[in-house]
Amino acid sequence: MISSPHPQFSNRVRRTAVGSLFFFHGLCFSSWGSRIPTIQQKLQLSEAELGGVLFSLPVGLILSLPFTGWLTSKIGSRKVVTIALVMYSLILVCLGLVSSVFQLTVLLFLFGLASNMANIAVNTQAVSVENLYGKSIMASFHGLWSLAGFVGAALGTLMIGANILPLYHFLVIMAIILVGIAVAYRYTMVQDPASPEGQPLFVMPDKALMGLGLIAFCSLICEGAMFDWSGVYFQKVVQAEKAWVSSGFTAFMCTMAATRFIADWATSKIGLKRVLQLSGLLTAIGLAISVIFPQLFTAILGFLLVGIGVSAVVPLVYGVAGKSTTMAPSMALAAVTTIGFAGFLVGPPFIGLIAGMSSLRLSFALIAVMGVTVSLLSSRIKSA
């Protein structure tokens, strides 16, 4: 257990400070997402052209993973998350100034890099706070990230409705984030979880970490499918009316965000292994319902279950990885994130490939197998 360097700060204060960093991270990302159509229109990009440009963001994220873990181990997560969030908000403002595809591509690459730096560092901070509590609280931090997604989307809708340019919108977001960091910084964790004694910084992930990464990989395939294909599924398979096309994605997001705030309680009651097993089964059942009964009500019900299923998997896996006894916590998080995020990238193209060869319903049926795999892999986790 980590002793607090400033005993006058309670655990709750530290939890609130670190939680605010998760919120700022999510707010920055969702603010960008809310203005993608505006910037697409400004640069007169087709859907195919936009898709190619947007791919530079995950490229920056993936390439930064090993570097971020090393940097966090060297200078500490507190400094890295502060630097990264400041960079993140500054790049967001620059995105509001783009006037060419080249500028947008370069900035999105840097946006992905800053996003991952903040992600690894803030999760390392969360592991430190979780150690203070001596119980699982990681999912609630990720719940704040999801909550920020709703807030960012709502603010974006208001800004678009008021015809406010992305630059001014993003300047407001940057101001909120910079002021928030200035307030929260002194209450964040100074010390990261201790690295294993005598352990070299660079080392291959052990079998346990590889297993955690595979669990995250399978779950993030399902999550990526929801983000990129839910609207298309409701349009082409469910054949929902135009006003209801986004209802599946909304249902998924609502239950994913809400469940993250009770996942830690569930973990303390029935255990990590059972929560992960149940999560995988709910994901599979939700997808199966939406495939077998592709009507509006049943498809929404299925997507609600998928949101519950995927909500806790990544936060809980991150929490376990951050307590690795074979690697520095930040490096363990980077290793699991690298494996897991590959699923987020592979999932959507895989669905498109199978849909092109057969049908979108078959694609979603195959993705349901990933939920079952999460449950099976989770059964091999040692009880904690």
Q: Do 234 and 332 have their domain in common?
A: yes
Q: Do 136 and 253 have their domain in common?
A: no
Q: Specify if 27 maps to a domain.
A: yes
Count the alpha carbons within 13 Å of 277 in the hemisphere toward its beta carbon. Answer: 12
Q: Do 94 and 211 have their domain in common?
A: no
SS3 per-residue string spanning the chain: CCCCCCCCCCHHHHHHHHHHHHHHHHHHHHHHHHCHHHHHHHHCCCHHHHHHHHCHHHHHHHHHHHHHHHHHHHHCHHHHHHHHHHHHHHHHHHHCCCCCHHHHHHHHHHHHHHHHHHHHHHHHHHHHHHHHHCCCCHHHHHHHHHHHHHHHHHHHHHHHHCCCCHHHHHHHHHHHHHHHHHHHHHHCCCCCCCCCCCCCCCCCCCHHHHHHHHHHHHHHHHHHHHHHHHHHHHHHCCCCCHHHCCHHHHHHHHHHHHHHCCHHHHHHHHCHHHHHHHHHHHHHHHHHHHHHCCCHHHHHHHHHHHHHHHHCHHHHHHHHHCCCCCCCHHHHHHHHHHHHHHHHHHHHHHHHHHHHHCCHHHHHHHHHHHHHHHHHHHCCCCCC
Count the alpha carbons within 13 Å of 4 in the hemisphere toward its beta carbon. Answer: 17
Q: Do 240 and 108 have their domain in common?
A: no
Q: Do 86 and 175 have their domain in common?
A: yes
Q: Do 61 and 146 have their domain in common?
A: yes
Q: Specify if 5 maps to a domain.
A: no
Rounded-to-10 torsion of CA 32, 35, 41, 45: 30
Domain boundary pick from 123, 158, 187 = 187
The count of structural domains within the chain is 2
Q: Do 61 and 178 have their domain in common?
A: yes
> What's the pLDDT at 7?
54
Q: Do 82 and 225 have their domain in common?
A: no
Domain boundary pick from 153, 187, 221 = 187
8-42 as b/e: b if 16+ CB within 10 A: eeeeeebbebbbbbbbbbbbbbbbbebbeebbbee
> What's the pLDDT at 47?
66
Q: Specify if 383 maps to a domain.
A: no
Q: Do 141 and 281 have their domain in common?
A: no
What pTM was computed for the model?
0.83
Q: Specify if 2 maps to a domain.
A: no
Q: Do 307 and 174 have their domain in common?
A: no
Q: Do 236 and 167 have their domain in common?
A: no
Q: Specify if 201 maps to a domain.
A: no
Q: CA-CA distance, 150 to 292, in Å (whole number)?
A: 30
Q: Do 217 and 363 have their domain in common?
A: yes
Q: What is the pLDDT along the chain (384 residues), one digit of tens a residue?
A: 344 444 578 889 999 999 999 999 999 988 998 888 888 889 998 867 877 787 788 788 888 877 888 888 888 889 999 999 999 999 999 999 999 999 999 999 999 899 989 988 999 999 899 988 888 888 999 999 989 988 988 898 889 889 999 999 999 999 999 999 999 999 998 887 765 554 554 456 678 888 999 999 999 999 888 877 888 888 889 998 888 888 888 889 899 999 999 999 999 999 999 999 999 999 999 999 999 999 999 999 999 999 999 999 999 998 888 888 777 777 888 888 888 888 877 777 788 788 888 888 998 999 999 999 999 999 887 654
Q: Specify if 286 maps to a domain.
A: yes
For residue 18, what are the domain limits? Answer: 11-187
* CATH number, position 249: 1.20.1250.20
Phi, psi of 326 (to 5 degrees): -115, -15
Q: Radius of gyration of the chain from Cα atoms? A: 20
> What's the pLDDT at 149?
86
